[in-house]
Amino acid sequence: PDTLSKLGKMTVEKEGNADAEYILSIRQIMLDINRTFPLHVMFSGKAGARGRSMLTHILAAYVRYNPKVGYCQGMSYIAAVLLMNMSEEDAFWCLASLFERSKFLVGLFDDSLWKVQQQAKIFQELLSHHLPKLAAHLESLHIFSLLYVTPWFMCLFTSLPCWDTVLSIWDLMLFEGITSFCRVGIA
């Protein structure tokens, strides 16, 4: 059997005596699944039950695969986009690769969220340099970059209304890595 199935079975087998962190992660996953692309045919209504199940399986397996990172809000959107474009197993391994390679999302979802904070500071500096009037205006309103770049970065811009734009951003991110986030945010 494939590795994802083994992780899934391990998840089910250990659920009865799982540690508190794992149980909390699973509870959070269950809450987030229904909020992840609720209007997309793959995840909505009765027709979306299979998609929601696969998404839950991927995220629960990742919690077991990498308990140091576990689960964090935002991961479900990334896993869902991957699942929309590939098999469940491939989506799992792409998710794992994105979270484990320094070029991509390492540190973005850890407990301290240090990489999000780091990227927000870089974004703020770029905004101040390239669009100083906008940066000054936002600062005068006490709107700090961490407030609005966090959902962009942690959901990989999946909340944007134009899906073609989202997929173009993903292409850029997969090619250049996390360094593209700030440029996309400024654009």
Per-residue pLDDT band for 19 (boundaries 50, 70, 90) equals confident
Residues 6+ apart with CB under 8 A from 80: 36, 37, 40, 42, 43, 51, 55, 158
35 pLDDT higher than 80: yes
The two structure tokens encoding residue 36? 């992840």
Q: What is the pTM of this model?
A: 0.85
DSSP-derived letter for residue 47 is T
Contact call for residues 37 and 80 (beta carbons, < 8 A): yes
**Mean pLDDT calculated for residue range 40-50:** 93
Report pLDDT digits (tens) over 146-170: 999 999 999 999 988 899 999 999 9
**Mean pLDDT calculated for residue range 14-32:** 80
